[in-house]
Structure 1
Protein backbone atom coordinates (compact mmCIF):
# COMPACT_ATOMS: atom_id res chain seq x y z
CA UNK A 1 0.00 0.00 0.00
CA UNK A 2 1.75 3.17 -1.19
CA UNK A 3 -1.07 5.70 -1.16
CA UNK A 4 -1.80 8.04 1.72
CA UNK A 5 -3.64 6.22 4.51
CA UNK A 6 -6.75 7.95 5.86
CA UNK A 7 -7.16 7.27 9.57
CA UNK A 8 -10.10 8.32 11.73
CA UNK A 9 -10.30 8.52 15.50
CA UNK A 10 -13.29 7.35 17.54
CA UNK A 11 -13.40 9.25 20.82
CA UNK A 12 -12.33 12.83 21.45
CA UNK A 13 -11.24 12.49 25.06
CA UNK A 14 -7.69 12.57 26.40
CA UNK A 15 -6.48 9.46 24.58
CA UNK A 16 -8.38 10.31 21.42
CA UNK A 17 -6.49 13.58 21.41
CA UNK A 18 -3.19 11.73 21.71
CA UNK A 19 -4.08 9.43 18.81
CA UNK A 20 -5.17 12.32 16.62
CA UNK A 21 -1.93 14.21 17.28
CA UNK A 22 0.21 11.19 16.39
CA UNK A 23 -1.62 10.51 13.13
CA UNK A 24 -1.61 14.18 12.13
CA UNK A 25 2.19 14.17 12.37
CA UNK A 26 2.80 10.75 10.78
CA UNK A 27 4.32 10.62 7.26
CA UNK A 28 2.03 9.06 4.68
CA UNK A 29 -1.02 9.36 6.94
CA UNK A 30 -3.88 11.84 6.89
CA UNK A 31 -6.14 12.36 9.88
CA UNK A 32 -9.52 11.86 8.23
CA UNK A 33 -11.38 13.19 11.25
CA UNK A 34 -12.97 12.45 14.58
CA UNK A 35 -16.26 11.06 15.83
CA UNK A 36 -17.49 11.46 19.40
CA UNK A 37 -21.04 11.22 20.78
CA UNK A 38 -20.44 14.74 22.08
CA UNK A 39 -20.19 16.79 18.85
CA UNK A 40 -18.52 19.75 20.53
CA UNK A 41 -15.62 17.54 21.62
CA UNK A 42 -15.17 16.14 18.12
CA UNK A 43 -15.28 19.66 16.67
CA UNK A 44 -12.71 20.96 19.14
CA UNK A 45 -10.28 18.10 18.47
CA UNK A 46 -10.71 18.31 14.69
CA UNK A 47 -10.06 22.05 14.84
CA UNK A 48 -6.80 21.45 16.73
CA UNK A 49 -5.50 18.54 14.68
CA UNK A 50 -7.14 18.81 11.26
CA UNK A 51 -9.67 16.59 9.54
CA UNK A 52 -13.42 16.76 9.93
CA UNK A 53 -15.73 16.37 12.91
CA UNK A 54 -18.24 13.64 11.98
CA UNK A 55 -21.73 13.37 13.42
CA UNK A 56 -21.85 9.57 13.18
CA UNK A 57 -19.52 6.60 13.31
CA UNK A 58 -20.78 5.50 9.89
CA UNK A 59 -19.75 8.83 8.34
CA UNK A 60 -16.28 8.56 9.87
CA UNK A 61 -15.86 5.01 8.57
CA UNK A 62 -16.92 6.09 5.08
CA UNK A 63 -14.12 8.68 5.06
CA UNK A 64 -11.41 6.40 6.54
CA UNK A 65 -9.24 3.44 5.58
CA UNK A 66 -8.49 2.64 9.22
CA UNK A 67 -9.65 3.85 12.63
CA UNK A 68 -8.31 4.20 16.14
CA UNK A 69 -10.85 3.51 18.87
CA UNK A 70 -10.14 5.54 21.99
CA UNK A 71 -13.64 5.63 23.45
CA UNK A 72 -14.63 4.25 26.89
CA UNK A 73 -13.84 0.54 27.25
CA UNK A 74 -17.46 -0.54 27.25
CA UNK A 75 -17.84 0.92 23.74
CA UNK A 76 -14.71 -0.65 22.22
CA UNK A 77 -16.28 -3.81 20.82
CA UNK A 78 -19.25 -2.13 19.17
CA UNK A 79 -17.08 0.39 17.34
CA UNK A 80 -14.47 -2.22 16.38
CA UNK A 81 -17.08 -4.57 14.93
CA UNK A 82 -18.75 -1.75 13.00
CA UNK A 83 -15.39 -0.73 11.55
CA UNK A 84 -14.45 -4.28 10.57
CA UNK A 85 -17.83 -4.89 8.93
CA UNK A 86 -17.23 -1.72 6.93
CA UNK A 87 -13.91 -3.20 5.78
CA UNK A 88 -11.68 -0.92 7.88
CA UNK A 89 -8.51 -1.75 9.77
CA UNK A 90 -8.76 -1.16 13.50
CA UNK A 91 -6.51 -0.05 16.34
CA UNK A 92 -8.43 -0.41 19.62
CA UNK A 93 -7.26 0.71 23.02
CA UNK A 94 -7.20 -1.92 25.75
CA UNK A 95 -9.23 -3.84 26.64
CA UNK A 96 -10.20 -5.07 23.19
CA UNK A 97 -13.69 -5.77 24.59
CA UNK A 98 -15.28 -6.35 27.96
CA UNK A 99 -16.51 -9.91 27.33
CA UNK A 100 -15.10 -12.88 25.45
CA UNK A 101 -18.02 -13.20 23.03
CA UNK A 102 -17.28 -9.75 21.63
CA UNK A 103 -13.53 -10.44 21.52
CA UNK A 104 -14.21 -13.66 19.57
CA UNK A 105 -16.50 -11.74 17.20
CA UNK A 106 -13.72 -9.22 16.54
CA UNK A 107 -11.26 -12.04 15.83
CA UNK A 108 -13.73 -13.67 13.45
CA UNK A 109 -14.54 -10.47 11.53
CA UNK A 110 -10.86 -9.57 11.18
CA UNK A 111 -10.04 -13.03 9.84
CA UNK A 112 -12.98 -13.11 7.41
CA UNK A 113 -12.25 -9.70 5.98
CA UNK A 114 -8.46 -9.84 6.08
CA UNK A 115 -8.21 -6.68 8.18
CA UNK A 116 -5.51 -5.73 10.69
CA UNK A 117 -6.59 -5.33 14.31
CA UNK A 118 -4.14 -3.91 16.84
CA UNK A 119 -4.67 -3.64 20.59
CA UNK A 120 -3.13 -0.77 22.54
CA UNK A 121 -0.73 -2.45 24.95
CA UNK A 122 1.87 0.33 25.00
CA UNK A 123 4.27 -1.34 27.42
CA UNK A 124 5.12 -3.77 24.62
CA UNK A 125 6.81 -0.86 22.86
CA UNK A 126 8.93 -0.28 25.98
CA UNK A 127 9.88 -3.98 26.21
CA UNK A 128 10.73 -4.10 22.51
CA UNK A 129 12.79 -0.93 22.81
CA UNK A 130 14.95 -2.33 25.58
CA UNK A 131 15.34 -5.68 23.79
CA UNK A 132 13.60 -7.77 26.41
CA UNK A 133 11.55 -9.72 23.88
CA UNK A 134 14.81 -11.00 22.34
CA UNK A 135 15.73 -12.94 25.50
CA UNK A 136 15.34 -16.66 24.85
CA UNK A 137 15.81 -17.80 28.44
CA UNK A 138 12.50 -18.79 30.03
CA UNK A 139 11.48 -16.57 32.96
CA UNK A 140 10.65 -18.15 36.31
CA UNK A 141 8.60 -15.37 37.85
CA UNK A 142 7.11 -11.97 37.10
CA UNK A 143 6.15 -9.47 39.79
CA UNK A 144 4.30 -6.28 38.82
CA UNK A 145 2.90 -3.26 40.63
CA UNK A 146 0.70 -0.79 38.74
CA UNK A 147 -0.80 1.94 40.90
CA UNK A 148 -2.45 5.26 40.15
CA UNK A 149 -4.43 7.97 41.95
CA UNK A 150 -8.16 8.40 41.60
CA UNK A 151 -9.28 9.55 38.15
CA UNK A 152 -12.67 10.06 36.51
CA UNK A 153 -11.50 8.04 33.49
CA UNK A 154 -12.18 4.33 32.81
CA UNK A 155 -14.66 3.87 35.63
CA UNK A 156 -16.87 1.77 33.34
CA UNK A 157 -14.51 -1.17 33.97
CA UNK A 158 -12.64 -2.59 36.96
CA UNK A 159 -9.02 -1.86 37.84
CA UNK A 160 -8.21 -5.28 36.36
CA UNK A 161 -9.41 -4.28 32.88
CA UNK A 162 -8.14 -0.73 33.33
CA UNK A 163 -4.60 -1.21 34.72
CA UNK A 164 -3.67 -4.80 35.59
CA UNK A 165 -4.42 -5.98 32.05
CA UNK A 166 -1.18 -4.32 30.87
CA UNK A 167 0.87 -6.59 33.14
CA UNK A 168 -1.23 -9.63 32.34
CA UNK A 169 -0.46 -8.99 28.66
CA UNK A 170 3.27 -8.68 29.36
CA UNK A 171 3.20 -11.92 31.35
CA UNK A 172 1.61 -13.66 28.36
CA UNK A 173 4.11 -12.01 26.00
CA UNK A 174 7.27 -13.18 27.77
CA UNK A 175 6.34 -16.87 27.95
CA UNK A 176 4.93 -19.51 25.63
CA UNK A 177 3.31 -21.26 28.59
CA UNK A 178 -0.43 -21.25 29.18
CA UNK A 179 -2.18 -19.94 32.32
CA UNK A 180 -3.22 -22.83 34.53
CA UNK A 181 -4.70 -21.36 37.72
CA UNK A 182 -5.59 -17.94 39.10
CA UNK A 183 -5.95 -16.79 42.70
CA UNK A 184 -7.02 -13.20 43.39
CA UNK A 185 -8.46 -10.78 45.89
CA UNK A 186 -9.78 -7.25 45.55
CA UNK A 187 -11.67 -4.31 47.03
CA UNK A 188 -14.03 -1.53 45.94
CA UNK A 189 -13.76 1.12 48.67
CA UNK A 190 -14.52 4.11 46.40
CA UNK A 191 -16.26 3.12 43.16
CA UNK A 192 -18.90 0.56 42.24
CA UNK A 193 -16.36 -1.47 40.30
CA UNK A 194 -13.18 -3.07 41.62
CA UNK A 195 -10.60 -0.41 42.63
CA UNK A 196 -7.76 -2.58 43.94
CA UNK A 197 -6.73 -6.13 43.10
CA UNK A 198 -3.95 -8.63 43.71
CA UNK A 199 -3.54 -11.78 41.64
CA UNK A 200 -1.26 -14.77 41.31
CA UNK A 201 -1.31 -16.61 37.98
CA UNK A 202 0.33 -20.03 37.71
CA UNK A 203 1.34 -21.23 34.24
CA UNK A 204 1.67 -24.79 33.01
CA UNK A 205 5.49 -24.72 32.93
CA UNK A 206 5.87 -23.42 36.49
CA UNK A 207 6.12 -19.72 35.56
CA UNK A 208 4.33 -17.51 38.13
CA UNK A 209 3.02 -13.97 37.72
CA UNK A 210 2.22 -11.97 40.86
CA UNK A 211 0.41 -8.70 40.21
CA UNK A 212 -1.01 -5.78 42.17
CA UNK A 213 -3.04 -2.89 40.79
CA UNK A 214 -4.85 0.08 42.31
CA UNK A 215 -6.53 3.19 40.93
CA UNK A 216 -6.99 4.84 44.32
CA UNK A 217 -3.31 4.98 45.36
CA UNK A 218 -1.61 8.10 46.71
CA UNK A 219 0.97 8.15 43.90
CA UNK A 220 1.53 6.74 40.44
CA UNK A 221 3.77 3.66 40.38
CA UNK A 222 4.59 1.25 37.55
CA UNK A 223 7.20 -1.41 38.37
CA UNK A 224 7.99 -4.92 37.18
CA UNK A 225 10.60 -7.52 38.04
CA UNK A 226 11.34 -10.54 35.86
CA UNK A 227 13.26 -13.39 37.47
CA UNK A 228 15.30 -15.72 35.25
CA UNK A 229 17.62 -18.60 36.16
CA UNK A 230 20.51 -16.25 35.30
CA UNK A 231 19.35 -13.23 37.33
CA UNK A 232 16.74 -10.48 37.50
CA UNK A 233 15.55 -7.56 35.39
CA UNK A 234 13.70 -4.81 37.26
CA UNK A 235 11.89 -2.10 35.30
CA UNK A 236 10.48 1.23 36.46
CA UNK A 237 8.08 2.34 33.71
CA UNK A 238 7.54 5.79 35.22
CA UNK A 239 11.21 6.70 35.62
CA UNK A 240 12.11 4.68 32.49
CA UNK A 241 14.99 2.96 34.22
CA UNK A 242 15.94 -0.67 34.65
CA UNK A 243 18.51 -2.87 36.36
CA UNK A 244 19.77 -6.11 34.86
CA UNK A 245 21.79 -8.90 36.53
CA UNK A 246 21.07 -11.59 33.92
CA UNK A 247 23.95 -10.94 31.53
CA UNK A 248 21.50 -10.61 28.63
CA UNK A 249 22.27 -7.41 26.70
CA UNK A 250 19.58 -4.73 26.90
CA UNK A 251 19.59 -1.32 25.25
CA UNK A 252 19.66 1.94 27.24
CA UNK A 253 17.35 3.51 24.61
CA UNK A 254 14.54 2.62 27.01
CA UNK A 255 15.79 5.50 29.17
CA UNK A 256 15.55 8.05 26.37
CA UNK A 257 13.00 10.72 27.40
CA UNK A 258 12.08 11.02 23.72
CA UNK A 259 10.78 7.45 23.72
CA UNK A 260 7.21 7.45 22.42
CA UNK A 261 5.35 4.20 23.15
CA UNK A 262 2.04 5.37 21.67
CA UNK A 263 3.72 6.72 18.55
CA UNK A 264 5.63 3.46 18.10
CA UNK A 265 2.51 1.37 18.63
CA UNK A 266 0.48 3.40 16.11
CA UNK A 267 3.36 3.37 13.61
CA UNK A 268 3.56 -0.43 13.93
CA UNK A 269 -0.18 -0.61 13.24
CA UNK A 270 0.18 1.56 10.13
CA UNK A 271 3.13 -0.57 8.95
CA UNK A 272 1.03 -3.73 9.34
CA UNK A 273 -1.86 -2.14 7.43
CA UNK A 274 0.53 -1.19 4.61
CA UNK A 275 1.97 -4.72 4.50
CA UNK A 276 5.37 -3.46 5.64
CA UNK A 277 5.26 -5.52 8.88
CA UNK A 278 3.70 -8.93 9.56
CA UNK A 279 1.82 -7.77 12.64
CA UNK A 280 1.27 -4.80 14.95
CA UNK A 281 2.93 -4.84 18.38
CA UNK A 282 -0.15 -6.49 19.87
CA UNK A 283 -2.82 -8.01 17.64
CA UNK A 284 -6.43 -9.03 18.18
CA UNK A 285 -5.47 -12.47 19.51
CA UNK A 286 -3.12 -10.86 22.04
CA UNK A 287 -5.98 -8.61 23.11
CA UNK A 288 -8.37 -11.55 23.45
CA UNK A 289 -5.88 -13.60 25.50
CA UNK A 290 -5.22 -10.72 27.87
CA UNK A 291 -8.96 -10.16 28.25
CA UNK A 292 -9.55 -13.84 28.97
CA UNK A 293 -6.95 -13.79 31.74
CA UNK A 294 -8.23 -10.48 33.14
CA UNK A 295 -11.76 -11.86 33.35
CA UNK A 296 -10.37 -14.94 35.12
CA UNK A 297 -8.83 -12.60 37.71
CA UNK A 298 -12.18 -10.82 38.15
CA UNK A 299 -13.90 -14.17 38.56
CA UNK A 300 -11.35 -15.28 41.16
CA UNK A 301 -12.01 -12.07 43.09
CA UNK A 302 -15.72 -12.81 42.85
CA UNK A 303 -16.70 -9.91 40.57
Structure 2
Protein backbone atom coordinates (compact mmCIF):
# COMPACT_ATOMS: atom_id res chain seq x y z
CA UNK A 1 0.00 0.00 0.00
CA UNK A 2 1.33 3.42 -0.93
CA UNK A 3 2.31 5.51 2.15
CA UNK A 4 -0.12 8.27 3.06
CA UNK A 5 1.20 11.81 2.59
CA UNK A 6 1.13 13.44 6.03
CA UNK A 7 1.33 17.03 7.23
CA UNK A 8 1.78 18.59 10.64
CA UNK A 9 0.13 21.96 11.17
CA UNK A 10 1.73 23.71 14.12
CA UNK A 11 5.48 23.27 14.60
CA UNK A 12 5.58 23.56 18.37
CA UNK A 13 6.28 21.02 21.11
CA UNK A 14 3.55 18.54 20.15
CA UNK A 15 3.93 19.09 16.42
CA UNK A 16 7.54 17.95 16.61
CA UNK A 17 6.49 14.63 18.17
CA UNK A 18 3.77 14.07 15.58
CA UNK A 19 6.28 14.71 12.78
CA UNK A 20 8.70 12.18 14.27
CA UNK A 21 6.02 9.47 14.28
CA UNK A 22 5.04 10.14 10.66
CA UNK A 23 8.70 9.95 9.63
CA UNK A 24 9.24 6.63 11.38
CA UNK A 25 6.07 4.92 10.16
CA UNK A 26 6.20 2.80 7.02
CA UNK A 27 2.52 3.67 6.40
CA UNK A 28 3.13 7.40 6.12
CA UNK A 29 5.51 9.94 4.63
CA UNK A 30 5.96 13.38 6.16
CA UNK A 31 5.18 15.57 3.17
CA UNK A 32 4.67 19.00 4.75
CA UNK A 33 5.10 21.04 7.91
CA UNK A 34 3.09 24.23 8.42
CA UNK A 35 3.69 27.05 10.86
CA UNK A 36 3.09 30.80 10.81
CA UNK A 37 6.77 31.09 11.73
CA UNK A 38 8.50 29.28 8.82
CA UNK A 39 11.79 28.94 10.72
CA UNK A 40 10.09 26.66 13.25
CA UNK A 41 8.65 24.52 10.48
CA UNK A 42 12.10 24.24 8.87
CA UNK A 43 13.52 22.98 12.16
CA UNK A 44 11.12 20.03 12.08
CA UNK A 45 11.27 19.42 8.32
CA UNK A 46 15.05 19.58 7.94
CA UNK A 47 15.59 15.85 8.44
CA UNK A 48 13.02 14.90 5.80
CA UNK A 49 12.01 15.98 2.33
CA UNK A 50 8.92 17.68 3.71
CA UNK A 51 7.84 20.98 2.23
CA UNK A 52 7.38 23.99 4.48
CA UNK A 53 4.37 26.31 4.33
CA UNK A 54 3.21 29.25 6.42
CA UNK A 55 -0.45 28.79 5.42
CA UNK A 56 -2.30 25.50 6.02
CA UNK A 57 -4.53 26.17 3.01
CA UNK A 58 -1.54 25.42 0.80
CA UNK A 59 -1.93 21.75 1.75
CA UNK A 60 -4.92 21.21 -0.54
CA UNK A 61 -4.01 18.46 -3.00
CA UNK A 62 -0.58 18.01 -1.38
CA UNK A 63 -1.39 15.63 1.51
CA UNK A 64 -3.85 12.92 2.53
CA UNK A 65 -3.78 13.32 6.30
CA UNK A 66 -2.82 16.02 8.80
CA UNK A 67 -2.16 16.45 12.51
CA UNK A 68 -3.34 19.79 13.87
CA UNK A 69 -1.28 20.92 16.87
CA UNK A 70 -1.94 24.66 16.83
CA UNK A 71 -3.39 26.53 19.87
CA UNK A 72 -6.99 25.56 20.64
CA UNK A 73 -8.43 28.90 19.55
CA UNK A 74 -7.29 28.13 15.99
CA UNK A 75 -8.55 24.53 15.83
CA UNK A 76 -11.85 25.36 14.22
CA UNK A 77 -10.57 27.36 11.26
CA UNK A 78 -7.67 25.04 10.51
CA UNK A 79 -9.63 21.78 10.81
CA UNK A 80 -12.55 23.19 8.80
CA UNK A 81 -10.27 24.24 5.94
CA UNK A 82 -8.48 20.88 5.89
CA UNK A 83 -11.69 18.84 5.91
CA UNK A 84 -13.14 20.97 3.11
CA UNK A 85 -9.95 20.27 1.14
CA UNK A 86 -10.59 16.53 1.50
CA UNK A 87 -7.88 15.91 4.10
CA UNK A 88 -8.36 13.50 7.03
CA UNK A 89 -7.59 15.19 10.36
CA UNK A 90 -6.18 14.27 13.77
CA UNK A 91 -6.62 17.33 16.01
CA UNK A 92 -5.08 17.62 19.46
CA UNK A 93 -7.35 17.95 22.47
CA UNK A 94 -9.36 19.88 23.45
CA UNK A 95 -11.40 19.40 20.29
CA UNK A 96 -12.40 23.06 19.86
CA UNK A 97 -12.67 26.28 21.84
CA UNK A 98 -16.50 26.21 21.83
CA UNK A 99 -19.24 23.60 21.63
CA UNK A 100 -20.74 25.20 18.54
CA UNK A 101 -17.42 24.85 16.74
CA UNK A 102 -17.14 21.20 17.73
CA UNK A 103 -20.63 20.38 16.51
CA UNK A 104 -19.98 22.15 13.23
CA UNK A 105 -16.73 20.24 12.59
CA UNK A 106 -18.35 16.92 13.45
CA UNK A 107 -21.17 17.57 10.99
CA UNK A 108 -18.68 18.70 8.34
CA UNK A 109 -16.50 15.59 8.71
CA UNK A 110 -19.55 13.39 8.22
CA UNK A 111 -20.77 15.35 5.20
CA UNK A 112 -17.40 15.20 3.40
CA UNK A 113 -16.79 11.60 4.54
CA UNK A 114 -13.40 12.27 6.13
CA UNK A 115 -11.90 10.84 9.31
CA UNK A 116 -11.86 13.31 12.22
CA UNK A 117 -9.98 12.06 15.27
CA UNK A 118 -9.37 13.93 18.54
CA UNK A 119 -6.09 13.45 20.38
CA UNK A 120 -7.16 12.06 23.74
CA UNK A 121 -3.88 10.22 24.12
CA UNK A 122 -4.64 8.48 27.44
CA UNK A 123 -7.00 6.17 25.56
CA UNK A 124 -3.85 4.71 23.98
CA UNK A 125 -1.81 4.50 27.18
CA UNK A 126 -0.63 0.96 27.94
CA UNK A 127 -2.05 1.33 31.47
CA UNK A 128 -5.49 2.15 30.05
CA UNK A 129 -5.39 -1.00 27.92
CA UNK A 130 -4.58 -3.02 31.04
CA UNK A 131 -7.39 -1.35 33.02
CA UNK A 132 -9.93 -2.36 30.38
CA UNK A 133 -8.91 -6.01 30.80
CA UNK A 134 -9.74 -5.97 34.51
CA UNK A 135 -12.63 -3.53 34.83
CA UNK A 136 -16.15 -4.83 35.39
CA UNK A 137 -18.70 -2.32 36.69
CA UNK A 138 -17.08 0.65 38.46
CA UNK A 139 -18.79 2.00 41.57
CA UNK A 140 -16.38 4.81 42.43
CA UNK A 141 -13.47 6.34 40.53
CA UNK A 142 -10.92 8.77 41.88
CA UNK A 143 -8.46 10.48 39.54
CA UNK A 144 -5.68 12.98 40.19
CA UNK A 145 -3.80 14.81 37.43
CA UNK A 146 -1.46 17.48 38.75
CA UNK A 147 1.71 19.13 37.46
CA UNK A 148 4.02 22.09 38.10
CA UNK A 149 3.13 25.39 36.45
CA UNK A 150 4.43 26.07 32.95
CA UNK A 151 3.37 28.58 30.32
CA UNK A 152 2.65 25.96 27.66
CA UNK A 153 -1.06 25.09 27.80
CA UNK A 154 -2.23 28.23 29.59
CA UNK A 155 -4.14 29.38 26.52
CA UNK A 156 -6.98 27.33 28.06
CA UNK A 157 -8.00 26.64 31.67
CA UNK A 158 -7.01 23.53 33.62
CA UNK A 159 -10.27 21.74 32.78
CA UNK A 160 -9.51 21.87 29.05
CA UNK A 161 -5.75 21.54 29.55
CA UNK A 162 -5.54 18.57 31.96
CA UNK A 163 -8.86 17.42 33.41
CA UNK A 164 -10.35 16.67 30.01
CA UNK A 165 -8.00 13.66 29.70
CA UNK A 166 -9.67 12.03 32.71
CA UNK A 167 -13.14 13.23 31.74
CA UNK A 168 -12.84 11.39 28.43
CA UNK A 169 -11.29 8.28 29.96
CA UNK A 170 -13.72 7.97 32.87
CA UNK A 171 -16.75 8.58 30.65
CA UNK A 172 -15.66 5.76 28.35
CA UNK A 173 -14.94 3.38 31.26
CA UNK A 174 -18.29 3.98 32.97
CA UNK A 175 -20.20 4.09 29.67
CA UNK A 176 -23.32 5.69 31.15
CA UNK A 177 -25.05 9.08 30.90
CA UNK A 178 -24.22 11.74 33.51
CA UNK A 179 -26.88 12.66 36.07
CA UNK A 180 -25.21 15.47 38.01
CA UNK A 181 -21.94 17.36 38.30
CA UNK A 182 -20.69 19.46 41.21
CA UNK A 183 -17.44 21.34 40.66
CA UNK A 184 -15.22 23.89 42.36
CA UNK A 185 -11.91 25.50 41.54
CA UNK A 186 -10.06 28.75 41.12
CA UNK A 187 -7.43 30.97 39.56
CA UNK A 188 -4.02 30.78 41.24
CA UNK A 189 -1.19 31.88 38.93
CA UNK A 190 -2.56 32.35 35.41
CA UNK A 191 -5.55 34.37 34.22
CA UNK A 192 -7.72 31.23 34.02
CA UNK A 193 -8.78 28.38 36.32
CA UNK A 194 -5.59 26.60 37.48
CA UNK A 195 -6.99 24.04 39.93
CA UNK A 196 -10.34 22.27 39.85
CA UNK A 197 -12.26 19.37 41.34
CA UNK A 198 -15.41 17.79 39.93
CA UNK A 199 -17.70 15.18 41.43
CA UNK A 200 -19.52 13.43 38.60
CA UNK A 201 -22.52 11.20 39.30
CA UNK A 202 -23.62 8.87 36.51
CA UNK A 203 -27.12 7.53 35.84
CA UNK A 204 -26.02 4.00 36.78
CA UNK A 205 -24.96 5.19 40.25
CA UNK A 206 -21.21 5.35 39.68
CA UNK A 207 -19.47 8.41 41.13
CA UNK A 208 -16.17 9.90 39.94
CA UNK A 209 -14.09 12.38 41.90
CA UNK A 210 -11.77 14.17 39.46
CA UNK A 211 -8.98 16.57 40.47
CA UNK A 212 -6.69 18.56 38.18
CA UNK A 213 -4.05 21.16 38.99
CA UNK A 214 -1.26 22.86 37.06
CA UNK A 215 0.13 24.68 40.10
CA UNK A 216 1.50 21.73 42.04
CA UNK A 217 5.07 21.01 43.11
CA UNK A 218 5.05 17.48 41.71
CA UNK A 219 3.58 15.63 38.75
CA UNK A 220 0.99 12.93 39.30
CA UNK A 221 -1.37 11.11 36.96
CA UNK A 222 -3.18 8.46 38.94
CA UNK A 223 -6.55 6.74 39.04
CA UNK A 224 -8.24 4.38 41.47
CA UNK A 225 -11.26 2.36 40.40
CA UNK A 226 -13.45 0.58 42.95
CA UNK A 227 -15.85 -2.18 41.99
CA UNK A 228 -17.47 -5.19 43.66
CA UNK A 229 -14.80 -7.41 45.27
CA UNK A 230 -11.82 -5.47 43.91
CA UNK A 231 -10.16 -2.18 43.12
CA UNK A 232 -7.52 -1.02 40.69
CA UNK A 233 -4.77 1.49 41.41
CA UNK A 234 -3.14 2.98 38.30
CA UNK A 235 -0.12 5.24 37.88
CA UNK A 236 0.07 6.59 34.34
CA UNK A 237 3.52 8.13 34.85
CA UNK A 238 5.22 5.10 36.40
CA UNK A 239 3.24 2.82 34.08
CA UNK A 240 2.01 0.57 36.87
CA UNK A 241 -1.33 -1.05 37.69
CA UNK A 242 -2.12 -2.88 40.93
CA UNK A 243 -5.18 -5.06 41.39
CA UNK A 244 -6.51 -5.69 44.90
CA UNK A 245 -9.20 -8.33 45.31
CA UNK A 246 -10.58 -10.75 47.86
CA UNK A 247 -10.71 -14.47 47.44
CA UNK A 248 -14.28 -15.68 46.94
CA UNK A 249 -17.39 -13.61 46.28
CA UNK A 250 -19.34 -14.00 49.54
CA UNK A 251 -19.94 -10.63 51.24
CA UNK A 252 -19.22 -10.80 54.99
CA UNK A 253 -17.98 -8.54 57.77
CA UNK A 254 -15.57 -11.23 58.93
CA UNK A 255 -12.76 -10.61 56.42
CA UNK A 256 -9.30 -12.00 56.95
CA UNK A 257 -6.77 -9.40 55.71
CA UNK A 258 -4.69 -12.31 54.47
CA UNK A 259 -7.48 -13.16 52.05
CA UNK A 260 -7.01 -9.85 50.20
CA UNK A 261 -4.91 -10.53 47.14
CA UNK A 262 -2.53 -7.97 45.67
CA UNK A 263 -1.41 -8.40 42.08
CA UNK A 264 0.88 -6.25 39.99
CA UNK A 265 -0.60 -6.31 36.51
CA UNK A 266 2.01 -6.67 33.78
CA UNK A 267 2.05 -3.63 31.54
CA UNK A 268 3.23 -4.18 27.98
CA UNK A 269 5.46 -1.21 27.07
CA UNK A 270 4.08 1.04 24.38
CA UNK A 271 4.26 4.49 22.82
CA UNK A 272 0.87 6.14 23.30
CA UNK A 273 1.33 8.76 20.59
CA UNK A 274 2.55 6.15 18.13
CA UNK A 275 -0.49 4.01 18.92
CA UNK A 276 -2.78 7.03 18.50
CA UNK A 277 -1.34 7.89 15.10
CA UNK A 278 -1.41 4.22 14.04
CA UNK A 279 -5.13 4.19 14.91
CA UNK A 280 -5.64 7.36 12.87
CA UNK A 281 -3.77 5.97 9.87
CA UNK A 282 -5.59 2.64 10.14
CA UNK A 283 -8.95 4.42 10.18
CA UNK A 284 -8.05 6.33 7.03
CA UNK A 285 -6.85 3.17 5.27
CA UNK A 286 -9.85 1.01 6.19
CA UNK A 287 -12.67 3.53 6.67
CA UNK A 288 -13.42 2.32 10.21
CA UNK A 289 -14.15 4.80 12.98
CA UNK A 290 -11.16 5.82 15.13
CA UNK A 291 -11.11 5.02 18.85
CA UNK A 292 -11.64 8.71 19.66
CA UNK A 293 -13.66 10.25 16.84
CA UNK A 294 -15.00 13.76 16.69
CA UNK A 295 -18.13 12.47 18.41
CA UNK A 296 -16.20 11.26 21.48
CA UNK A 297 -14.16 14.45 21.44
CA UNK A 298 -17.35 16.50 21.46
CA UNK A 299 -18.81 14.46 24.34
CA UNK A 300 -15.72 15.12 26.46
CA UNK A 301 -15.93 18.82 25.57
CA UNK A 302 -19.60 18.98 26.58
CA UNK A 303 -18.80 17.51 30.01
CA UNK A 304 -15.87 19.90 30.37
CA UNK A 305 -18.08 22.90 29.64
CA UNK A 306 -20.67 21.68 32.18
CA UNK A 307 -17.87 21.65 34.76
CA UNK A 308 -16.64 25.08 33.66
CA UNK A 309 -20.12 26.58 34.03
CA UNK A 310 -20.20 25.43 37.65
CA UNK A 311 -16.73 26.85 38.28
CA UNK A 312 -17.85 30.21 36.91
CA UNK A 313 -21.15 30.38 38.79
CA UNK A 314 -19.84 29.02 42.12
CA UNK A 315 -16.57 30.90 42.76
CA UNK A 316 -14.34 30.00 45.69
CA UNK A 317 -13.26 32.65 48.24
CA UNK A 318 -11.17 35.35 46.60
CA UNK A 319 -12.46 34.50 43.13
CA UNK A 320 -14.50 36.91 41.00
CA UNK A 321 -17.84 35.42 39.86
CA UNK A 322 -18.69 35.44 36.16
CA UNK A 323 -22.09 35.12 34.55
CA UNK A 324 -21.20 32.71 31.75
CA UNK A 325 -18.48 30.58 30.24
CA UNK A 326 -17.01 32.69 27.47
CA UNK A 327 -17.35 31.18 24.03
CA UNK A 328 -19.25 28.10 25.20
CA UNK A 329 -21.76 28.20 22.40
CA UNK A 330 -25.05 26.38 22.76
TM-score tier after normalising by the smaller chain length: over 0.9
Residue 290 (str. 1) matches residue 304 (str. 2): no
Q: 1:136 deviation in Å?
A: 6.3
Contact 2:127 2:267 in 1 (8 A): no
TM-score w.r.t. the length of structure 1 is: 0.93
What does the per-residue CA deviation read over 1:135-171, in whole Å, with 9 as the maximum and x for residues that have no partner?
A: 5621111110000111111111100000000000011
Q: Give unmatched runs, 5+ long, in structure 2.
A: 247-262, 313-324, 326-330
Matches within 5 A, 1:129-208: 130-135=129-134, 137-208=136-207
The counterpart of 1:281, out of the listed 272, 283, 291, is 291
Aligned to 2:267: 253
Q: CA separation in 2, counterparts of 1:243 and 1:49? A: 42
Aligned length, in residue pairs:
298
Moved over 6 A (4+): none
Q: CA separation in 1, counterparts of 2:230 and 2:83? A: 44
Matches within 5 A, 1:95-106: 95-106=94-105
Matches within 5 A, 1:117-128: 117-126=116-125
Q: Answer with 1 or 2: which has the greater Rg.
A: 2
Q: CA separation in 2, counterparts of 1:209 and 1:49? A: 45
What does the per-residue CA deviation read over 1:3-44, in whole Å, with 9 as the maximum and x for residues that have no partner?
A: 220010010001000000000000121001111111111111
What does the per-residue CA deviation read over 1:23-69, in whole Å, with 9 as the maximum and x for residues that have no partner?
A: 00001210011111111111111113441111211112431101001
Q: CA separation in 2, counterparts of 1:7 and 1:119? A: 16
What does the per-residue CA deviation read over 1:84-136, in whole Å, with 9 as the maximum and x for residues that have no partner?
A: 11111110110111211111011101111111111111111125763333456
Matches within 5 A, 1:61-80: 61-80=60-79
Q: RMSD of the TM alignment (CA)?
A: 1.9
What does the per-residue CA deviation read over 1:212-260, in whole Å, with 9 as the maximum and x for residues that have no partner?
A: 101111111100011111311111011111111258x996134x3xx20
